[in-house]
Amino acid sequence: MTEEKSLPKKEKKRYFVTAVHGSDCGCSDEEDSVMKLEFQIPGAKKDKIHLHVVEKQLRLVAPKNDEEEYISHYHFACPADIAATEAKYEDGVLKVEIPYDCPNPYKDIPPIKIV
């Protein structure tokens, strides 16, 4: 009787994708209430994308094919409104809108004079 050996599971090649957003302080609209993020993940299938948002972070795992996948993590300065978060995937771009209550801390502060 011979023993069957299982082959080691081949690990997927992972590509870390950085979110594109429209503001340095994390606020993307004038009311400082919605963070808008875009992830370039061409080749991913919409029904295979795993997007998770918890109070202060986002995690993305999106298989491109059997050997490759996109991954990303994003941390927020303020708590996200998870129930109101929306995501749309089209033409290889995942757009995520995350509402939160976080006033811009720099809004009423004058800039430092540089000499």
- 53 backbone dihedrals φ, ψ, rounded to 5°: -125, 125
Q: Which residue has the higher pLDDT, 44 or 1?
A: 44
Do the Cβ atoms of 98 and 76 come closer than 8 Å? Answer: yes
pTM here is 0.75
Residue with tokens 């299938």: 45
d(CA 83, CA 85): 6
Q: How far is CA 57 from CA 16, 66, 81, 86, 111, in A?
A: 16, 27, 11, 15, 29
Residue 67 has pLDDT above 60, yes or no: yes
Q: How many CB atoms neighbour CB 37 within 10 A? A: 21
Once rounded to an integer, what is the mean pLDDT over residues 96-101?
A: 88
Residue 105 token pair: 């801390």
Single-letter amino acid code for the residue at 18: T
Distance CA 81, CA 97 (A): 10
Domains of the chain, each with CATH number or no CATH:
13-99 (2.60.40.790)
| pLDDT at 23 > cutoff 70 | no
Cα–Cα distance between 62 and 43 in angstroms, integer?
9
Q: State residue 27's pLDDT score.
A: 52
